[in-house]
Structure 1
Amino acid sequence: MSGAVPSLPTRGDAVLVGLHLIDGVDPAPRGGLALVIEEGRIARITTPDDAVRGAARVIDLDGAFVMPGLINMHTHFSLSLPGAGGDVVSGLSPHELSLYMADGARRTLLSGVTTVRCVAEKGGADFALRRAIAAGHVPGPRIYTAGRALCCTGGHGFDGDDTLECDGADAFARGVRSQVKAGADLIKLMISGGIAGEHEEITTPQLTREEMAAAISTAHAWGRKVTAHAGPAAIIAEAVQLGLDCVEHGYELTPEVARLMAAHGTALVPTLVVTRASAFFDDLGVPAWMQQRSLGAGPRHMASYRHALDAGVEVLLGSDMPPFWDFEGTSAVVRELEHMQAGGLAAPDAVRAATAAPARWLGADGELGTLTPGRWADLVVTPGDPTTDVTALRDLDLVMKGGVVVRDDQGRARGAFA
């Protein structure tokens, strides 16, 4: 090699043939088509004969299914739960933490997640990581981030620098502005207790109406949506009436509050896997009190999710656990989708909850979430049909981001030239 060594490619060109296309618009796969990718984006969808004419690089997928890359709406690259595993992460220096998060981003991309929404990260490292990925310095998914979540003094997550303690309406307004100043794409509030707080309960309300109103109105004035860590129905109802855009977890929804969410267009990221994560907790040495609280909340959590489905609430994929974690025979993100399907979401709707619907919530549906002309060529390839059963995503063959192949288990992209 002579000359300068380039950064990682962030845009590529290719023609994909021999595929069944799940474009994120039509619920059923379509055959007999080809994708033409130019400068990282879908240029056109056409016939194979037309696509290969003059093409420099043709990848034959041999009948596999192609769908948009997964969008994980609840991710923490700097997650540190109570216990020995979390203590290791909490003890990392800023430099070590950045490298740790970069490795998590790489593994997340290889698991088929091409876009993430980070909902509380330590030390501002998420902003640096976002820039590094965009520049091609390190591999990883596209990042939308809330920066630090806002909590009350002693509130959920207060004991890490992935949160910012605020008290009173003025302080919450300033907190929102501080995260916007840092580069946040959205704002996250901790409005109740949760699983990981030793001295609280899931049902503990933690923000006043005035604090929530100030944060939500300030964020909206700055063009940012607001999501909230939330468990109990009453505090969720109050926040929804104030304009909350999304609920994380929603452990204890009622049919009435679910209907209120649907009426206001408030989405739900259920993170069902977090109350079914015994093996993950064992891996991290999570203490017994947290395991008992989490696993004990599982049945009510699933009932809450079903209330949301019955009410027509838009549900979005989010794992909370590291998306790539080796968990129950697959990755955590796929296991979450399997729980969503098992809980009553039809497979085509589960695919939409992992692709087009999150892109729309992020305001990025002109860029992401569907395999249609003009969108980024972020996609995954599986031998089975995920619109029949999302378990097909356990067998990823190929992952592409921006037209660049980042994973190729079958070697289909090697030597793929016309």
Structure 2
Amino acid sequence: MGDKVIVNCTVVDGRTAEGGAPVPDAAVLIRGERIAAAGPLAEVMPQASEATVIDLGGAYVTPGLVNMHTHLSLSLPGAEGEGVKAMGPHDLALYMADGARRTLACGVTTVRCVAEKDHADFALRRAIDAGRVPGPRVFTAGRALVCTGGHGHEGTDTLECDGPAEFRRGVRAQIKAGADLIKLMISGGIAGENERIDTPQLSADEMAAVLETAHAWGRKVTAHAGPATVIAEAVALGLDCVEHGYELTPEVAAAMAARGTALVPTLLVTRCADFFEELGVPAWMRARSLGAGPRHLESYAMALDAGVTVLLGSDMPPFWPFEGTNATVRELEHMSEAGLGPARALHAATLGPARWLGADADLGTVEAGRYADLVATDTDPLASASAFRTVRWVMKGGAVVRDDAAVPSLA
């Protein structure tokens, strides 16, 4: 690919939450897959004499979004979920590839998969990296580790283990397959009929075995977790991230902040009645989800007050059409409106996740050396997280994958 230079734009990224400033009348020079220069037009253009000009017509340019709680093979209880569970390996691969394409078209250029069926996520990642399938960059946990009968045990996206030795083997099996991180189910949740959100599911020695083994191999561990007591125990043992955190306390939030344990709150999962209706989710699950909503928001507020690092993750498929936008953007709106604010929401959707993934040398900002994973919006993301409803142009690795001014696109 020849050089490209993006002009007629304002560059905004997550550094604004740390004292940085937007760059109006900006230009971004792209050489191959990466950004060669970014800054004021007058400084960048002398380096771009032979570059193809991409005029974005006054748009705001941000890094591509990072969705940190993704299931491209999601199958919740209900009719639609049963259909996904019944798919053979070939159908499942194509289903997930279609989801990856739709995800990228939304402006989500990186995902963190936190339990996918049959290790199909690794095949999907290879296909995306080889250019055979359009999709986001994929960081994945492989199969989540659960106790016998634990949360999510019904599907092939989890691996049942019991006792420290089996959990150690489970960690190693995911790493052998290519996992970038480990996902652990340490409590009940919304989708398990024979459990409660506050059902503890692992012993301390089982959690310790996972954390010690994963960390020895250089992998972080994230945990599906609802109740404060279970989370407190895992944080004390060195847990790197909490998914959901439905029932935090100020004390546990403070411990998370002190330890550097991040939170992916997935606020959507307790306020998505229409999504559950669409999938035919049973009444017991809908009631449990909506009933947990008020306490979920209180927990999120406690995390913000304590200074916990919060990161964007939808749990719902990132691309799913929902309430006038897609699930990723709707989650970001909830996070912003519930106390985070637009600037910190942008950080939680870009630079924060890149740092957690250990990929901030490549992702998360619009600056030289990073991958040219970029989106353009019509309105200012620092004024409202809803600006991402107006995404109209997406680039990944220097290639334009969506341009609403041209056809066809990936949308």
In structure 1, runs of 5+ residues without a counterpart are: 1-10
Equivalent in 51, 59, 76 of residue 45 of structure 2:
51
Equivalent in 234, 238, 241 of residue 236 of structure 2:
241
Q: Equivalent residues in 2 for 1:5-16 (5 A)?
A: 13-16=3-6
Name the structure 2 match of 1:29: 22
Does the CA-based 8 Å contact 2:143-2:156 persist in structure 1? Answer: yes
Whole-Å separation in 1 of the counterparts to 2:262 and 2:155: 27
Whole-Å separation in 2 of the counterparts to 1:412 and 1:97: 28
Q: Equivalent residues in 2 for 1:263-282 (5 A)?
A: 263-282=258-277
Give, in angstroms, the shift of residue 337 of structure 1: 0.5
Does the CA-based 8 Å contact 2:263-2:311 persist in structure 1? Answer: yes
Does the CA-based 8 Å contact 1:251-1:301 persist in structure 2? Answer: yes
Whole-Å separation in 2 of the counterparts to 1:197 and 1:45: 48
Whole-Å separation in 2 of the counterparts to 1:298 and 1:143: 30
The residue identity in structure 2 corresponding to 1:21 is V
The residue identity in structure 2 corresponding to 1:297 is A
Give, in angstroms, the shift of residue 47 of structure 1: 4.2
**1:96 and 2:91 aligned:** yes
Whole-Å separation in 2 of the counterparts to 1:208 and 1:226: 16
Give, in angstroms, the shift of residue 388 of structure 1: 1.0
Aligned length: 404
Name the structure 2 match of 1:333: 328
Equivalent in 208, 211, 226 of residue 213 of structure 1:
208
Does the CA-based 8 Å contact 1:12-1:402 persist in structure 2? Answer: no
Equivalent in 74, 83, 102 of residue 79 of structure 1:
74
The residue identity in structure 1 corresponding to 2:9 is L
**1:411 and 2:406 aligned:** yes
Give, in angstroms, the shift of residue 342 of structure 1: 1.2
Give, in angstroms, the shift of residue 397 of structure 1: 1.2
Larger mean Cα displacement after TM superposition, 289-298 or 19-28: 19-28
Any idea what SS the aligned residue of 1:17 has?
A: strand
* Residue deviations 1:98-123 (CA, integer Å, cap 9, x gap): 00000000000001100000000000
Does the CA-based 8 Å contact 1:23-1:372 persist in structure 2? Answer: no
Superposed CA RMSD in Å reads 1.4
Name the structure 1 match of 2:308: 313
Equivalent in 182, 191, 195 of residue 186 of structure 2:
191
Does the CA-based 8 Å contact 2:13-2:347 persist in structure 1? Answer: no
Cα distance 1:182–1:402, how it changes in 2: closer, same or farther (>3 A)?
Answer: same
TM-score by length of 1: 0.95
The residue identity in structure 2 corresponding to 1:130 is R
Give, in angstroms, the shift of residue 56 of structure 1: 3.4
Instruction: Give percent identity, aligned residues only.
Output: 67
Give, in angstroms, the shift of residue 83 of structure 1: 0.1
More helix by share: 2
Does the CA-based 8 Å contact 1:60-1:412 persist in structure 2? Answer: no
The residue identity in structure 1 corresponding to 2:51 is A
Whole-Å separation in 1 of the counterparts to 2:208 and 2:383: 42
In structure 2, runs of 5+ residues without a counterpart are: none
Does the CA-based 8 Å contact 2:375-2:395 persist in structure 1? Answer: yes
The residue identity in structure 2 corresponding to 1:323 is P
Any idea what SS the aligned residue of 1:297 has?
A: helix
TM-score by length of 2: 0.96
Cα distance 1:34–1:24, how it changes in 2: closer, same or farther (>3 A)?
Answer: same
* Residue deviations 1:59-87 (CA, integer Å, cap 9, x gap): 11121100000000000000000000000
